Amino acid sequence: MKGPGFFPTELIFAVTDKCNLHCPHCYVTRRNLDINLEDARNFLKSCKNTPIERIGFSGGEPFLNLEFITEIVKEAISQDLMFDRIITNGVWWKNEDDLKNKLTSLYEAGYDGKIGLSYDSFHAQNFEKILTFIKEVYEIWKQNDILDIQSVISEDNEKNIEDLDNFDSLAEELSCSTDVNLKKKTGKGTILLENEELYLPIFRELQSFPAEDPRAWKSRKWFKDDYCQGPGQVLFVHPDGRIAPCCGFANENQALILGNLKDGYEKIMQNAESNRMIKICYEEGLSKEIKKLKKSLPGKTSDICAFCDFFCRQELI
């Protein structure tokens, strides 16, 4: 055994698959579903006195199912759990009163985790709405590090320049200094907007592609095995209640489904112990499967999630 194994410490709820945007880099299957609140609450109770210590929220656009979030926040607080982040596109609101009311309800429920704003050319949000969202978040929480931005790098250089111009405009509007730390070759890295009242990091990441996309297989080098540590040590709950490990796009594959909310924590972890993909991803390493699939592979990929997606699909054939 090389990897440390699967020991999730976080529970992420993809609270809905509904979204007000249609981004070309999003791989969420849309079936107009919301997570069942009572099933989620019961599952959360089954996580008491287990290694699960943090709760996060994803989607779809999670603010389109805010009632679920506020109820789960209250339940999590009652169990002394911490919060990771809510991932949002920031432009789901109808008007400024709607924005203020819903953010306030989240704050009053007791949420004190991060708010992760996805903002880039793929989302193509209105700049003024993004600026209003950011200002309102800081106004309500009055916490200088409440917010960060996740931004995906496009293959279109003009769109990347547009993103950088938008970040410069944000810095100007928020009266922030700017510290840029981006790799010249890829554009990956961080941009930090900062003043005496706020600390706003912007994380620029490369676009990730699913296995069926030829762009996933153009790398010169293979991925390095990390045994799915870090972001992989989670239980991810899909809107239909199915539970998978990790928060990567490959987790919609049946080979990675460990059960559903009705099973409870203990049963899910028992299923994980007998799941072949868990053993490969978290203990043996996915890289050892490259040779076995050599004849069917479309090329090389540096993205472990793309390879996992490909391998899962082969497993189901």
Q: Tens of pLDDT along 156-185?
A: 889 999 999 999 999 999 999 999 999 998
Instruction: Please determine, for residue 273, whether its predicted confidence score (pLDDT) is greater than 80.
Output: yes
Question: How much is the average pLDDT of 273-285?
Answer: 95
pLDDT at residue 51 tops 90:
yes
pLDDT of 209 > 50? The answer is yes
- Amino acid type, 185: K
The Cα 287–Cα 176 span in angstroms is 43
From 312, 315, 304, select the one nearest 222 (Cα to Cα): 304
pLDDT of residue 95: 97
Nearest to 306 by CA among 231, 232, 213: 213
- Nearest to 123, CA basis, from 96, 172, 88: 88
Return the beta strands (E) in the chain as ranges: 10-14, 54-58, 82-88, 114-118, 147-153, 177-182, 189-194, 199-206, 234-237, 242-245, 259-260
The per-residue pLDDT for 316 is: 54
Position 231 scores a pLDDT of 78
Higher-pLDDT residue of 23, 7: 7
Which pLDDT score, from 0 to 100, does residue 30 have?
83
pLDDT at position 1 is 58
Cα 185 to chain centroid, rounded: 25
Ramachandran angles phi, psi of 122, nearest 5°: -65, -40
Cα separation of 243 and 258, whole Å?
A: 6
pLDDT for 230-271, tens place per residue? 778 999 999 999 999 988 889 999 999 999 999 999 999 999
Q: In what order do the strands lie in the sheet with 234-237?
A: 177-182, 189-194, 199-206, 147-153, 114-118, 82-88, 54-58, 10-14, 234-237, 242-245, 259-260
Bridge pairing between strands 189-194 and 242-245: unpaired
Is residue 317 scored above 60 in pLDDT? Answer: no
DSSP 234-299: EEEE-TTSEEEESSSGGGGSGGG--EEGGGHHHHHHHHHHH-HHHHIIIII-GGGGTGGGTTT--S
- Record the pTM: 0.94
Which is nearest to 245 in space by CA: 254, 233, 255, 253? 233
As a whole number, mean pLDDT of residues 266-292 equals: 95
Residue 315 has pLDDT above 70, yes or no: no
Check pLDDT > 90 for residue 104: yes
pLDDT of res. 25: 83
pLDDT at site 313 = 87
pLDDT of 112 > 90? The answer is yes
Distance CA 261, CA 276 (A): 21
Question: Chain-wide mean pLDDT for the chain?
Answer: 94
Query: What pLDDT shows up at residue 28?
Result: 80
From the number of C-beta atoms within 10 Å of its C-beta (0-12, 13-18, 19+), residue 309 rates as buried
Distance CA 107, CA 112 (A): 7
What dihedral angle (degrees, nearest 10) is formed by the CA atoms of 87, 90, 96, 102?
Answer: -10
For a pLDDT cut of 70, what percent of the chain falls above it?
99
